[in-house]
Amino acid sequence: MTSLPAPLRWLHSLEWRRGFFDWARSDGVTWVYIFKVLIAGFLTLWLAMRLELPQPRTAMITVFIVMQPQSGQVFAKSFYRFLGTLAGSAVMVFLIALFAQNTELFLGSLAIWVGLCTAGAARYRNFRAYGFVLAGYTAAMVGLPALAHPDGAFMAAVWRVLEISLGILCATVVSAAVLPQSASAAMRNALYQRFGTFALFVTDGLRGRSPREGFERSNVRFIAEAVGLEGLRSVTVFEDPHMRRRNGRLSRLNSEFMGITTRFNALHQLLERLRSHEADHVVGAIKPGLQDLTELLDNFSGRALTSPDAERLVSLLAAYKEGLPTKVRSLRARFQESAPSDAEQLDFHTAYELLYRFVDDLHNYAQTHASLAEHSHERELWDEPFTPKANWLACAASGIRATFILVILGSYWVATAWPSGATMTLIAAATVGLSAATPNPKRMAFQMACGTLIGALVGFVEMFFVFPLIDGFPLLCVMLAPVIVLGAFLSSRPKYAGVGLGLLIFFSTGSVPDNLTVYNPYTFINDYIAMIIGMLVCAAAGAIILPPNSRWLWRRLEQDLREQVVYAISGKLKGLASRLESRTRDLLHQAYGLAAGQPQVQRDLLRWMFVVLEVGHAIIELRKEQAILPVHPAYAESQPWRQAIRVMGRSLVRLFLQPSASNLERGLSAVDHAISQVQATDEPFAPHFDTSALRRVKSYLHFIRTSLLDPQSPLAALNPSGPAHAS
């Protein structure tokens, strides 16, 4: 075979290495995770058997539940699993002490407890949710078998805590020691890449090259990243002291990123409205100021923002911000030479007010990003954390569903005295808890049932035809490895995560031998039938009893979104902007997931978010302006313009609580009246003092008006006058 020339050999080796590294960053990470699951699972099983724990499989199941691709996620999940296990064990001992002689009262109390824990899991939706899940089904898993022997309940709880602690210890050691994947490294990479994507998004938007679908798709991505990074930040606290010292700045950075996306969305929406109304004269007057910012951000778009780049961005933005007022005055003087109308002047001032706010927030974001290079920094002092928002009805529905399932299955067990009824009930408690924090619990429970069925078929063959023929722990590992590899692989794929989880957990529950193995096919088959029935009941309940992906919940979450405008009007002003951002985006993130497969619903929810954030931030800025006004007769509380703004606030509350054509008309009239009152105050006082504060107030009022008239807004369907009314 003729050898390749040296340059071709070099290119061939370079392509091979590039391909290998691409594989290592994608599928390679999955196979490393599977390899670590095998090591941690077998190490835990061996130690549990050597220590003669009553149920080694429980320790092994703990590994499968807490194991994650990144070590920080393992630490966080293990921490909350341990807390949840302690809480569930304590409640179980308490209930056994109260109702050991009364099965009905015990099952009723247990059902209520599992319902409360499931509602808590639906409320938090992160690793803290897992603590609630464990608190619920640990009480069922320990308490139901202990009903037959109440005197052993305390020791059963102690053994379970020890078994889970062993699984947690092995999982964390293996995750941290064997080819560790750091959550902090993932977070740093996400932060660096995120700004380059956003800068490209901004430059395309300012040049008018961002179609509506692409604009909405990018915003959905930014929302998911903001919520995801908040979860990742809470994980890195467990893992990395370097990131722990920067925890306040990371929280601040996420909050500021949400702020700059909202600021730019507001500016982009205004520019799009002007372009759609063919206001070329105003767009041409605004364009020179936007062009400078576009050219500045071109240097950073589509590339990672490293610490030196962040320092350079800070200095460039500081210079741009310093020269912006002079630039605006020059452009305004030139613009006024063309004798623009009052509406055109308002559009000009509103655009540059939004631009200045955007640049100011962008400068703050760049400063916080640059400060991450230092071990300690004054920007670490941040007391405006991400504030999640959940719908209490959705959480209550999850709790009610769980309580109903436990009552029905527990009653069936008591009525029939089926020996595997306890297994059915406790598996249902585990399934309903594990699926509560997912957008589609019905699908999750059904997938877990499918995984359990696969585990039952494979487990029957191994338990009764393979295990009796093998001798020693190494051969046991060889027989268990293919099932564990398949389950871990499926659980790493979001589409089949439920199947993988069901296969791993419930194959281990029914088919992994204990220290004293009992080969009883009758019990084996009954227990697996009970497991599958319990999961199918959970799936049916998720589809019938207040299903979370139904129309009623979308409407409730949409109403919660609209109510954020009321929160902006009435909430405490300190930190209100960041709370509005996080609450609104968290609500949309939940609603978007629940409305999967319903693109029109998702689009409507996203557009409600836009109008809520636009109007909400404009109201907050109005409140801030009024809070810092100097002492002057023009700014007195009794002035008609301040009273008109209060009336406008009440009209907006009515509009967003009950959207209707009449309320929209009333809201627009109130905004128009407030603008006219500010204008009437501005003119007589203008010769005597600086009216820039009133000009800013007028700009925010005008922006609220254009937001309410946006043809892309959900409110557009309520506007009987159509786009013509906007003129």
Q: Where are the domains of the chain?
A: 25-181+391-544, 185-380, 551-718
Residue written as token pair 């920094």: 377
User: Cα–Cα distance between 65 and 605 in angstroms, integer?
Assistant: 34
> How much is the pLDDT for 535?
93
State the helix-helix crossing angle for 307-336 and 280-298, rounded to 10 degrees. 160
DSSP sequence for 590-605: HHHHHTTT-HHHHHHH
- Residue 50 burial by CB count (10 A; 0-12/13-18/19+): exposed, middle or buried? exposed
- Residue 489 has, within 13 A of its CA and on its CB side, a CA count of 9
Q: Of 449, 412, 439, give the one whose Cα is nearest residue 535.
A: 449
Residue where the block lists tokens 């639906």: 122
Joined tokens for residue 587: 């609500």
pLDDT, residue 374, reads 86
pLDDT confidence of residue 685: 52
- pLDDT reported for residue 364: 92
Measure the CA–CA gap between 33 and 42, rounded to whole angstroms: 14
118 burial via Cβ count (<10 Å: 0-12, 13-18, 19+): buried
pLDDT under 70: residue ranges of the chain: 1-27, 125-126, 278-279, 339, 630-632, 634, 682-691, 719-727
> What single string gives the DSSP state of each residue in 651-701?
HHHHHHHS--HHHHHHHHHHHHHHHHHHHHHHHHHTTTS--HHHHHHHHHH
DSSP codes, 88-153: HHHHHHHHHHHHTT-HHHHHHHHHHHHHHHHHHHHHH-SHHHHHHHHHHHHHHHHHHHHTS-GGGH
Q: DSSP 3-state assignment of 388?
A: coil
d(Cα 458, Cα 228) in Å, to the nearest integer? 36
| pLDDT on residue 450 | 94
SS (H, E, C) 154-211: HHHHHHHHHHHHHHHHHHHHHHHHCCCCCHHHHHHHHHHHHHHHHHHHHHHHHCCCCC
**Of 375, 368, 351, whose CA–CA distance to 578 is shortest?**
368
* Distance, CA of 96 to CA of 99 (rounded, Å): 5
State the pLDDT at residue 726.
42
> Which of 251, 122, 229 shows the shortest CA–CA distance to 557?
122
Q: What is the pLDDT of residue 16?
A: 57
* Third-level CATH fold of 185-380: Methane Monooxygenase Hydroxylase; Chain G, domain 1 (1.20.58)
Position 263 scores a pLDDT of 86
The pLDDT value recorded for residue 215 is 82
Whether the CA torsion 297, 298, 304, 306 is positive or negative: it is: negative
Contact 297, 339 (CB under 8 A): no
Going from the C-alpha of 436 to that of each of 132, 297, 387, 614, 637, the distances in angstroms are 10, 43, 21, 33, 50
pLDDT, tens digit, 9 for 90 and up, residues 306-335: 888 999 999 999 998 888 888 888 888 888
